[in-house]
Chains A and B, each alone.
Chain A
Amino acid sequence: MMLSRIADSLFWIGRYMERADNTARILDVNYHMLLEQPPDTYKLRWDPLIAVTGERARFYKMYEEASAQTAFDFLGFSTENPNSISQCIINARENARTIRDRISRELWEDINGLYHKINKLRQDDESLSRFCDAVKRGGHRFHGVCDATLPRDEGWHFVQAGCVLERAEMTARILDVHYHQLLEGPPILNEARSHLWMAVLKSVAAFEFYKRQYTQIEPAKVAELLLLDSRHPRSARFNFGALQSSLHAISGSVPGSYANEAERLTGKVHERLAYDSIEEIFDGGLHNFLTELQHTCRSIGEQITRAYFHYAVVA
């Protein structure tokens, strides 16, 4: 028996923790890549980063240009940006605090500890990379503590669903924004191009894995790994598979059928990711594919809400 409100909070703890983690990853990797790049590529580097988070309009209301400093401020700490890392952690903690009687003491103390640590780092004016490192470690620890202390009941599956849905959407966004940039942006150096894609891979912890599969950095191969690979925990396919398992575990419906709209959409996308080739996706236009994928992720989120969190009660 699980209250709808509790399930809602668990789902969002997963989403916010994952969002904080992803944001820290792209911030960190891009910052380090930039250190060795010619100065005229600055804008090229920081602007897409803001776009990935879907907060471009808000950003340019607050700052004139995208630089390391403004991006760090906006994505790291800004209270104006509801998706900044610290806001995500605050939100995850608020959700955890609300349902602390329903999660393990270890999990609450871990999220609460991360919150205090982030607050302290901010006051100490620590460097970007130490900050991102703390958040990434926090993300890893979060998964570890969940794994080691939460019973595998519906609650667990709601946390999982939140994490993997967020991660799938973030992976689609990262890919989409950089693709857009490469196709339509000003011409850039070849070496910069390969550095960019290396940075993308590193931001999702897939660089080493990629290098073992493929010899050279090729955008199509990067897309193939991040979308269609069944093994890497940040690929879209992997995450849609995990989402499907969790949704079926919650509803009790068998694979191949669906109990609600969220399951139907998830199953549909997962099939495509399992059976389409990267060439087929490119033929239809990668950008179109990624746009649709992001759109579906949003719909799935809404449908989960409708099926489990906010449904109508008939008197």
Chain B
Amino acid sequence: MSSAARAHSSDQFLFTDYEPGPFYDELIAPDGLPRPCAAAMYEKLAAMPLEVFEERRKLADLSYLVQGITFTVYSDGKGTERLFPFDLCPRIIPRSEWDVIERGLAQRVMALNLYLQDIYGQQRILKDGIIPRHLVFSCKHFRREMVGLHVPRDIYIHICGTDLVRDSRTGQYLVLEDNARSPSGISYVLENRLVMRRTFPRAFEVCEVMPVDHYPAELVQILRSLSPRSGDRPVIVLLTPGLYNSAYFEHCFLAQEMGIELVEGSDLVVVDDVVYMKTIHGLTRVDVIYRRVDDDFLDPLAFRAGSLVGVPGLMNAYRAGNIALANAVGTGVSDDKAIYAYVPAFIKYYLDEDPILQNVETYLCSKPDHLAYVLDHLPELVVKAVGESGGYGMLMGPSSDQQTIEDFRVRLKADPRNYIAQPVIPLSRVPSFDIATGAMSPRHVDLRPYCLYDGQKVTIVPGGLTRVALQKGSLVVNSSQGGGSKDTWVLRGDE
């Protein structure tokens, strides 16, 4: 406990001076009373003495440390392991809201898959002029090698992590970006729930929270269905870049939960277009790879030659139909941030439906009129490099100094195709524990649900990862920049 917190603790409760403020608060209505979905949890937290809360918070932190659920920060040169901060106040979503999100995401993932199938197949959408040819082919993650290659069961994106935000002005959820390559974070969803169940067992008795634990079982079932060989026991592996990857914990966790082998590139070898793994008793054939290695590093013979984490010859085996990969190679042509602007059009084109979830208004710098607008309004916009993720290559206009803005202006003019810009969305907030004051205080959040696609339907475990910007006023939720996470509760009903 900080000294400030100790000074307050005797007569203060967590929500004593809580002010939802000018942003949409997920749990507390503007009048300061809990929303119906949050009433039961609020009652528990509001009545909890600070000392008790602090004790539980420490136990929760300790459990992450003991389990070694840490991520590695390389910026200090030492590769320090840090805890991904976990905030004990859950984000709560009423069922009726979730139903809309679920339908919207399912629709989006279906459309993205149809788009990929089309782009690497007949390219009808280009012929019909729905999206400019040059925009697709200039994508950093477009893979020429995939054109005409048949992927098992026509599934490209098996796992999609779509980032959603709620716009405080309208109260609507918006899609911020799609992560269709290898989205990470699901292990935190499962571990956070585990820790919450241990920390507030009584709350779960009254709150009717929908479970999330079935995710690994759903995923492994999809992976199993992809096997190119018949037989009911295909060999499935999870390919990781290794211990020094920041998501290594997650790779281990998922492999263990799914009961599949966790392998590194050096464990695999391709002989006559068949993939094997090296075991103590010789080579064993592999059927399906859930790969957490980027396209670029997957096969040094096909892509980046220097890659040490890949498997030489893997693309040949893939082309020969002897191995299934999830996600497929080349899905980055669907989550490019410039392509993003066209996803609503994909939904209309492929499904003949109106998008259920809206995009954030987006300026494509490749369009001269958009570029002109962006250059005129840099201090009020967010500018993003199209092929990046994880908060890299980004300009937050309102919080950047003049020099940074001018630097970006130069970059934008030099390579407009590489950038998009969006207005700053006033993200919704959730009460979060502020260590400095020893009380709850509103903090901005986003939401990343994890969608699984089996070729027919999209399955989404209720909720997802809620990331929270723990620094006061910050809108950046990335773990590398002071973000933390929360357990996300989807209720069986609306309250």
Known: A100-B252, A101-B252, A308-B280. A5 touches B271 (CB 8 A): no
**Which residues of the partner chain A approach B263 to less than 8 Å between Cβ atoms?**
3, 5
Interface contact B280-A98, CB-CB below 8 Å: no
Interface contact A3-B278, CB-CB below 8 Å: yes
Known: A97-B243, A100-B252, A101-B255. A5 touches B66 (CB 8 A): no
**Cβ of A122 to closest chain B Cβ, rounded Å:** 16
**Which residues of the partner chain A approach B266 to less than 8 Å between Cβ atoms?**
5
- The answer for the CA separation of A315 and B312 in the assembled complex, in Å, is 13
Interface contact B277-A98, CB-CB below 8 Å: no
Interface contact A154-B66, CB-CB below 8 Å: no
Q: Is B2 an interface residue (CB 8 A)?
A: no
Residues 85 to 137 of chain A near chain B (Cβ within 8 Å): 94, 97-102, 105, 108-109, 112-113, 116
**Which residues of the partner chain B approach A102 to less than 8 Å between Cβ atoms?**
256, 262
Q: Which residue of B lies closest to A307 (CB)?
A: B280
Interface contact B279-A109, CB-CB below 8 Å: no
- The answer for the CA separation of A313 and B252 in the assembled complex, in Å, is 26
Total interface residues on B, CB under 8 Å, equals: 28
Interface contact A5-B65, CB-CB below 8 Å: no
- The answer for the CA separation of A102 and B263 in the assembled complex, in Å, is 11
Tell me which of B68, B261, B280 has the highest count of chain A C-beta atoms within 10 A of its own C-beta: B280
Q: Is A1 an interface residue (CB 8 A)?
A: yes
- The answer for the CA separation of A94 and B79 in the assembled complex, in Å, is 13
Q: Which residue of A lies closest to B253 (CB)?
A: A101
Interface contact A313-B68, CB-CB below 8 Å: no
- The answer for the CA separation of A105 and B194 in the assembled complex, in Å, is 15
**Cβ of B14 to closest chain A Cβ, rounded Å:** 30
Q: Is A278 an interface residue (CB 8 A)?
A: no
Known: A3-B278, A3-B279, A109-B67. A98 touches B253 (CB 8 A): no
Interface contact A109-B66, CB-CB below 8 Å: yes
Total interface residues on A, CB under 8 Å, equals: 26
Interface contact B253-A7, CB-CB below 8 Å: no
**Cβ of A136 to closest chain B Cβ, rounded Å:** 21
**Cβ of A177 to closest chain B Cβ, rounded Å:** 35
- The answer for the CA separation of A192 and B242 in the assembled complex, in Å, is 52
**Cβ of B66 to closest chain A Cβ, rounded Å:** 5
Interface contact A101-B279, CB-CB below 8 Å: no
**Cβ of B61 to closest chain A Cβ, rounded Å:** 13
- The answer for the CA separation of A108 and B284 in the assembled complex, in Å, is 27
Interface contact A116-B267, CB-CB below 8 Å: no
Cross-interface CB contact of B68 among A2, A112, A308, A311, cutoff 8 Å = A112
**Which residues of the partner chain B approach A113 to less than 8 Å between Cβ atoms?**
66
Interface contact B280-A2, CB-CB below 8 Å: yes
**Cβ of A86 to closest chain B Cβ, rounded Å:** 15
Cross-interface CB contact of B264 among A5, A94, A97, A109, cutoff 8 Å = A5
- The answer for the CA separation of A112 and B66 in the assembled complex, in Å, is 7
Known: A101-B252, A109-B67. A313 touches B271 (CB 8 A): yes
Q: Is B320 an interface residue (CB 8 A)?
A: no
**Which residues of the partner chain B approach A116 to less than 8 Å between Cβ atoms?**
65
- The answer for the CA separation of A1 and B267 in the assembled complex, in Å, is 13
**Which residues of the partner chain B approach A154 to less than 8 Å between Cβ atoms?**
280
Interface contact A2-B279, CB-CB below 8 Å: yes
Known: A97-B243, A100-B252. A315 touches B271 (CB 8 A): yes
- The answer for the CA separation of A113 and B252 in the assembled complex, in Å, is 18
- The answer for the CA separation of A106 and B279 in the assembled complex, in Å, is 25
Cross-interface CB contact of A101 among B256, B267, B281, B284, cutoff 8 Å = B256
- The answer for the CA separation of A77 and B34 in the assembled complex, in Å, is 53
**Cβ of B133 to closest chain A Cβ, rounded Å:** 41
Q: Which residue of A lies closest to B255 (CB)?
A: A101
Interface contact B279-A1, CB-CB below 8 Å: yes
Q: Is A269 an interface residue (CB 8 A)?
A: no
Known: A108-B68, A109-B66, A116-B65. A4 touches B267 (CB 8 A): yes
Q: Which residue of A lies closest to B282 (CB)?
A: A311
**Which residues of the partner chain A approach B280 to less than 8 Å between Cβ atoms?**
2-4, 7, 154, 250, 308-309
**Which residues of the partner chain A approach B65 to less than 8 Å between Cβ atoms?**
116
Q: Which residue of A lies closest to B284 (CB)?
A: A1
Q: Is B217 an interface residue (CB 8 A)?
A: no
**Cβ of A208 to closest chain B Cβ, rounded Å:** 35
Interface contact A3-B269, CB-CB below 8 Å: no
**Which residues of the partner chain B approach A311 to less than 8 Å between Cβ atoms?**
278
Q: Which residue of B lies closest to A98 (CB)?
A: B243
**Which residues of the partner chain A approach B372 to less than 8 Å between Cβ atoms?**
none
**Cβ of A82 to closest chain B Cβ, rounded Å:** 18
- The answer for the CA separation of A289 and B67 in the assembled complex, in Å, is 45
Given contacts A101-B252, A101-B253, 12 further A-B contacts (CB under 8 A): A1-B281, A1-B284, A5-B266, A97-B68, A97-B248, A105-B67, A108-B68, A109-B66, A109-B67, A154-B280, A313-B269, A313-B283
Q: Which 3 A-B pairs have the closest CB atoms?
A: A101-B256, A101-B252, A101-B255
- Between A and B, 22 residue pairs with Cβ closer than 8 Å are A1-B261, A1-B281, A2-B281, A3-B278, A4-B279, A5-B263, A5-B267, A5-B278, A97-B243, A99-B262, A100-B256, A101-B251, A101-B253, A101-B256, A105-B67, A108-B67, A109-B66, A112-B66, A112-B67, A116-B65, A313-B283, A315-B272
